Amino acid sequence: MYGALGTEAVHEDQPARPSLSYGAHKLIAEIELADLSRRGSLDAVSLRLPGIVARPPTETGHGSAFMSLVMHKIAAGQPYVCPVGPRATAWWMSLRCCVDNLLHAATMSTADAPASRVWQLPVLHLSMREVLDALTWRYGPQRRELISFAPNDRIEALFGRMPPLHTPAALAAGFRHDEDADQLIVAALQAS
């Protein structure tokens, strides 16, 4: 959604500069909802979502699928070749936390919404190493050996180099993240 990002932290009011058609379509929808809300046709807000885990354990071809697959594979005791390296960082949220945030957005007052009507949800900013540490703490250290790495430059550039994300306004408005890597894993795998 934000386009190419460096290593500096991103603030929730960072302008969107999509580098993929998928992100451009999301931005179009945000602008349309904000315009309809401005005109009084509806009262809407848009939520910017991070990588939601855990998707069903199938190879979908989506670049960010590794975020869910690594969880499913370790939980099942199966080998997996991860397309990003252990130092790759992403923005993570469990499906359960995402649903809680959607329900919160549906019931909150929009009086204090930003003029854009867009909320960037709070996220966990975790490296693959941190996620693997939490998974192996839960499922046993022998499972770490099931994961090997074959970084794909394109996937890592799009989904594995996310900088820290600061969302103080969203947190103050009652949106939340999963608290830590272990809670993320428990929530993600219980929902799948």
Decide the pairing of beta strands 89-94 and 124-127.
Answer: antiparallel
Q: Using the predicted structure, report yes or no on whether residue 76 has a pLDDT greater than 70.
A: yes
Instruction: Please enumerate in sequence order all residues whose Cβ is within 8 A of that of 170, keeping only pairs 6 or more positions apart, or say none.
Output: 12, 119, 120, 121, 122
Residue 192, pLDDT score: 54
What domains can be seen in the chain, in order of their start residue?
10-191 (3.40.50.720)
Q: Using the predicted structure, report yes or no on whether residue 102 has a pLDDT greater than 80.
A: yes
Reported pTM:
0.90
Please name every residue paired with 47 in a beta bridge, in sequence order, or none if there are none: 119
Distance (Å, whole) CA 72 – CA 75 = 5
pLDDT grade, residue 191 (50/70/90)? low
- Is the model more confident about 59 or about 119? 119
